[in-house]
Amino acid sequence: MKIDQVLKNLGLQDKEPDIYLNLLKTPGAQPASVIATRANLNRTTVYKTLVRLVKKGLVTKAQRHGITCFFAEDPENRLKLLIDEKQKQLGEMNQAMLETLPLLTMTEDDSDSLPKIRYYEGIEGIKQIYETVLKEGENQYRYGDITKIYEALGIYTDEYIQKRNELGIVTHAIMPLYEKDEKEIKKNIREHREVVYIPHKYFPIEGEVRIFGNKVAIMSLRQESPIGVIIESDTIAKMFLSIYMLTWKNYGDKAIRPSS
């Protein structure tokens, strides 16, 4: 392999190999103009290239009678450092490739082992989660406190419920009830919502969890800093749904169910 190709493999680019080899054959420290003449290249190109070689540690810059001059460092030491650095980079690349290979060979059946997670922040972020729920068009199961939702989202809550009703999406909900409110219970029937109420002392939930299709949305509805995530995974969605169904069943004795 030619020496200039070896230098390129070590990271030297463009005219760097030619200029460096010329500088090795140039006695003493010389200005860019002299090196440019010996290499038969433009002085500006040579100067910029020498500056890059200085940054690589192969060349040293010095002042001689007010003129910037350059000379090559001992190639045995400096090139060895470049080789060591290249070996380190190759080692890191090899390690990264070994870690990535399982992803490259992953089949469609394995894809659910890596769930997609999207993060949302602020009121607008929470609204995006709700819009994603509507776009999915699936009946949904949720834990949440309707009062917290209204406190966080205000009038948007009514707009969301109206959109959901128009789409015919049914919500199955487990919600805390501060006291038995027949008016609130009857409203669930109009809003396509099946609810099991659990007295607040048993279920003081601050946020909300929605399970829809193969996704789970988890939200904190604190007014000062609402945040949420959507996790897209068949396995995780089924797990949350199983927990939901178990909760629905096991809290039946403490639940207040709406009657049609």
Please check the confidence at residue 210 and state whether its pLDDT lies above 90.
yes
More confident residue, 26 or 193: 26
Q: Are residues 148 and 249 in the same domain?
A: yes
Higher pLDDT, 258 or 47: 47
CATH number of domain containing 68: 1.10.10.10
Q: With respect to residue 104, please indicate whether it lies within any of the assigned structural domains.
A: no
Q: How far is CA 227 from CA 16, 24, 118, 248, in A?
A: 52, 61, 11, 26
Please give the average per-residue pLDDT across 240-244, as a whole number: 92
Decide if pLDDT at 164 tops 50: yes
Tell me: do 139 and 183 sit in the same domain: yes
Strand partners for 119: 229
CATH number, domain of 160, equals: 3.30.870.10
Which element (helix H / strand E) includes 193? strand 193-199
> Does any domain span residue 94?
no
- Cα–Cα nearest to 223, from 128, 157, 126, 156: 126
Residue 193 belongs to some domain of the structure? yes
**Residue 239 pLDDT class (50, 70, 90 cuts):** very high
In a domain, 241, yes or no: yes
116 and 72 in a common domain = no
Q: What is the mean pLDDT of residues 139-155?
A: 88
Decide if 92 is inside a domain. no
What percent of the chain lies above the pLDDT cut of 90? 17
Mean pLDDT of all residues in 43-58: 88
Q: Is residue 98 part of a domain?
A: no
- For residues 211 and 161, membership in a common domain is answered with yes
* 66-113: pLDDT as tens digits: 888 998 888 777 777 777 777 777 777 777 776 666 656 555 555 556
Number of domains composing the chain: 2
Within this chain, do residues 113 and 214 fall inside the same structural domain, yes or no? yes
Asked if the structure places residue 96 within a domain, the reply is no
Whether residues 66 and 15 fall in one domain: yes
Give residue 209's pLDDT.
Answer: 94
Single-letter residue type at 109: D
Which residue segment(s) compose the domain that 29 sits in? 3-76
Within-domain flag for 90: no
My answer on whether 149 and 204 are in the same domain is yes
Same domain for 142 and 207?
A: yes
